[in-house]
Amino acid sequence: MVDFTLTDEQKNLRELAHDFAEKEIRPVAWEFDKDGTWPQEIINKAHEVGLMNTHVPEEYGGPGLGFLDGCLIEEELAWGCSGIQTSLGANGLASAPVELGASHEVKEEFYGELIAEPKLASFCLTEPGAGSDVSSMRTRAVKKGDKHVLPGQKCFITNGSHADWYTVYAKTDPDAGHRGMSAFLVRRDDTIVIDKKEDKMGQRASNTATVTFNETEVDAKYILGEENKGFKLAMMTLDRTRPGVAAMATGIARAAMEFAIDYSKERVQFGVPIAMHQAIQFMIADMATKVHLARLATWNSAVLLDQGKRNTLESSHAKRFASDSAMEVATDAVQVFGGYGFIKEYPVEKLMRDAKIMQLYEGTSQIQRLVIARETLLPRRVAEPAAA
């Protein structure tokens, strides 16, 4: 059965997130973007109304929402401001390897903290010399008794400056390539140095930092999954979180399209609102198609996860298409605004800057194409249609 009808609970959830975005995020989004203001008050409020940590299962005190539910929320909050939503949503990325690889006791401990207070966690994979090529990372985890000791540096870490704990990937067998990586849950302590808060082009209200581990000790119980199986855990994590990124990109595209529609009805040139000109109508039509298809691909990739199926291919389809579409729609929205679109006083300039990162983080559009090509060329996938 193929049915994208939302349940009443899902509609309510979407309305709650939209209201929050409209009342709490939109009014400050452009101001926060200007100075890169950290949205702590919004984080506190989102935590209070239950729009954070929606992934945490009920047995650990969370709402235990599904992946599609999460995407509904993410699209609305990113419609408000994708920078602020990146801050609100990063706990989901840090928690995915915990969900996949931690013991019951460790989940109780770490999820419990996220639910009790508006605390933050970060996902530490990327390094200065290891971006798309994950297995070239240099961070080490050396066994010392029943602990591991981590020396290494991670960069571009979302919420890095504000996180209480980190999910960190490190080499446990440096000669074994991707089969020698492990994942660890690391509490912030004095051995961890946070610096280089990045001054970014877009999503300026999100925090992006460098996190350096100086002989940081980690207990054996905080290894996530099996030792040396960290690479697969990272890939499985990204399969689970890329639908959310696609949902955010859809939110940016929708916001840009709405601003372009409103402006095109007000702006008069050649004696009529520019919305009367076919050149503008076709741009708006293309925007609407891209938003629609981005959402469908996003929902498809999330529903597969909710059904317990592997979604590697669909997740990359959604992330690639929605991110590229967000960039195209935001760029065209600036075009509809003409010269005014280039001015910071008008809203679409920020959206064009924000959209750019969607094609970069959680796997560039080129990496998504690499995954799509590999998955599509595999005979197994051809014999097994997308949503089967």
**How many residues in the chain?**
388
CA-atom Rg of the chain in angstroms = 21
Burial of 307 (0-12, 13-18, 19+ CB in 10 A): exposed
Pick between residue 91 and residue 216 the one whose CB is nearest to ligand CAA: 91
| 299 counts as binding ligand CAA under rule CB under 6 A | no
239 is a site residue for ligand CAA (CB under 6 A): yes
Instruction: Identify residues 61-100 at the interface with ligand CAA (CB under 6 A).
Output: 93
Binding window for ligand CAA (CB under 6 A); candidates: 24-32, 183-191, 300-308, 356-364: 356-364
Label residue 291 exposed, middle or buried (CB < 10 Å: 0-12, 13-18, 19+). buried
Binder of ligand CAA out of 121, 236, 297, 304 (CB under 6 A): 236
Catalytic residue among 58, 362, 375, 384: 362
Beta strands in 34-97, from DSSP E residues, in sequence order:
none
274 sits near ligand CAA (criterion: CB under 6 A):
no
Please choose, from the candidates 158, 160, 136, 173, the residue with its C-alpha nearest in 3D space to the C-alpha of residue 212: 160
Q: Which residue is nearest to ligand CAA (CB)?
A: 363
Given a contact cutoff of 8 angstroms between Cβ atoms, the answer to whether 93 and 120 are in contact is no
The smaller minimum CB distance to ligand CAA, of residues 70 and 363, is found at: 363
Instruction: Between 28 and 370, name the residue whose CB sits nearer to ligand CAA.
Output: 370
Q: Is 117 a catalytic residue?
A: no
Q: Alpha-carbon distance 119 to 186, whole Å?
A: 14
Q: What DSSP designation does 343 have?
A: S
Q: Does 123 bind ligand CAA (CB under 6 A)?
A: yes
**360: Cβ–Cβ under 8 A, 6 or more apart, which residues?**
none
Scan residues 172-201 and list those touching ligand CAA (CB under 6 A).
178-179
Q: Which is nearer to ligand CAA, 54 or 87 (CB)?
A: 87
Q: Tell which one of 20, 79, 156, 337 touches ligand CAA (CB under 6 A).
A: 156
For ligand CAA, the binding residue among 28, 106, 276, 370 (CB under 6 A) is 370
- Mention every residue, 6+ apart, whose C-beta is less than 8 A from residue 108: 60
Structure tokens at 259: 């601003």
Q: What are phi and psi of 149, to 5 degrees?
A: -115, 125
Query: Count of residues binding ligand CAA (CB under 6 A)?
Result: 25
Residue 337's identity, in one-letter code, is F
Select from 60-68, 75-83, 139-147, 366-374 the region that touches ligand CAA (CB under 6 A): 366-374
Find the angle CA(206)-CA(207)-CA(212) to the nearest 5 degrees. 155
- Between 159 and 216, CB nearer to ligand CAA: 159
CB 206 within 8 A of CB 87: yes
Among residues 126, 191, 331, 335, the one that binds ligand CAA under rule CB under 6 A: 126
Residues that bind ligand CAA (CB under 6 A): 93, 123, 125-126, 132, 134-135, 156-158, 178-179, 231-232, 235-236, 238-239, 312, 361-363, 367, 370-371
Report the catalytic residues.
362
